[in-house]
Amino acid sequence: MPRVKKPAASSSPPENEPNAHCFGSHLSIAGGMRHALVEALRLRCRTVQVFVKNQRQWRATPFKPEDLERWHALLETAGFGPPVAHATYLINLASPDPALFAKSVAAFTEELRRCETLRIPYLVVHPGAAVGAPVEQAVRRVAKALNRIFDANPDLTVMPLLETTAGQGSTLGSTFEQLGEILHAVEQPGRVGVCIDTCHVFAAGYDIRDSEQYQAMIRLADRELGLERIRCWHLNDSKGELGSRLDRHEHIGKGRIGSAGFRNVIADTRFRGLPMILETPKGEDSRGREWDRLNLARLRSIATRAARQ
């Protein structure tokens, strides 16, 4: 689709973040894809994360031409991007059920293609769940799914990002060693990246509040994955304790991680410029203040303090 000339901006431009931090939030596409970008610009975000279809359904409805046109125009806003997408939670690339595995591969392929249409370079996906099968087999199934998708779509440029998980139940991806096992089994590993979620790694047992333990986690990620594979962060505080394996997100600075953990991430110049996405609870507080705006303000404050140190 040809690029559309950007119309006069109707929203505020992205905020000039300290040290070029690319903060954003996961925002709703209800009523059309463009609404997420309109809201992101209103919040003065520099990036956004979206679902590219109704995340409660397997079926994907075609994009409306006028919605795509507006999306692409807003995407040209100076200082904005790159945007990120998140795969629907129905997908399980590790499923031992042949029918669900095939359905998941087809659905994930469709979402990658939709990202291509939207010019979204990254699609975050949970590695999946073993659902009673041996973990080793589940790891191989995820790699098999990615290999099948890449073989069938050699020109696809969108990069799947395997997300770190909290380790609930039989979910894969709670350790960097396990993510590394998946990547080592992918025949075209350069086409796959990783998204680190702060709540998830904390709940999985990585204490990012402590600067030395944070650095130890990053060294482990470098050894098992390579830091160049880390393309996105999800910045969420945690309702659960360290190592609780509880996947419950909390507002920035209001959970068990606290400001120190986010300071360690934000101050790390190796990840400067990468999308850093909020997936914190939405809505308003008891005084009518927007949580997205509050959480973004907290991240910006932490970034400003880190820059002064």
Active site residue 214: no
Question: Confidence class of residue 309 from pLDDT cuts 50, 70 and 90?
Answer: confident
Specify the higher pLDDT residue, 1 or 216: 216
Average pLDDT, the chain: 93
Of the residues 200, 209, 263, 298, only one is catalytic, namely: 200
> What pLDDT digit, counting tens, does each position of 281-307 carry?
998 876 777 999 999 999 999 999 988
Active site residue 126: yes
Of the residues 237, 247, 256, 263, only one is catalytic, namely: 247
Active site residue 234: yes
Q: What is the pLDDT of residue 253?
A: 95
Active site residue 56: yes
- Taking residues 143-151, what's their average pLDDT? 98
Distance, in Å, from the CA atom of 281 to the CA atom of 256, rounded to the nearest integer, reads 15
Q: What is the pLDDT of residue 18?
A: 44
Question: Is 307 within 8 Å of 19 (Cβ atoms)?
Answer: yes
- Taking residues 18-25, what's their average pLDDT? 80
Active site residue 163: yes
Tokens 């080592």, residue located: 184
Residue 7 has pLDDT above 50, yes or no: no
Look up residue 23 and give its two tokens. 């903060």
Q: What is the pLDDT of residue 170?
A: 96
Q: What is the pLDDT of residue 8?
A: 37
> What pLDDT digit, counting tens, does each position of 204-252 carry?
999 999 999 999 999 999 999 999 999 999 999 999 999 999 999 999 9
Of the residues 17, 197, 237, 292, only one is catalytic, namely: 197
Of the residues 26, 126, 229, 263, only one is catalytic, namely: 126
Active site residue 247: yes
Of the residues 26, 70, 86, 256, only one is catalytic, namely: 86
Q: What is the pLDDT of residue 14?
A: 66
Residue 48 has pLDDT above 60, yes or no: yes
- Taking residues 95-117, what's their average pLDDT? 98
Of the residues 34, 231, 249, 263, only one is catalytic, namely: 249
Q: What is the pLDDT of residue 3?
A: 38
Active site residue 197: yes
Active site residue 292: no
Question: Confidence class of residue 6 from pLDDT cuts 50, 70 and 90?
Answer: very low
Q: What is the pLDDT of residue 292?
A: 96
Active site residue 35: no
In CATH terms, the superfamily for domain 18-308 is Divalent-metal-dependent TIM barrel enzymes (3.20.20.150)
Q: What is the pLDDT of residue 283?
A: 82
Of the residues 56, 59, 287, 308, only one is catalytic, namely: 56
Of the residues 17, 111, 163, 181, only one is catalytic, namely: 163
Q: What is the pLDDT of residue 300?
A: 96
Q: What is the pLDDT of residue 16?
A: 52
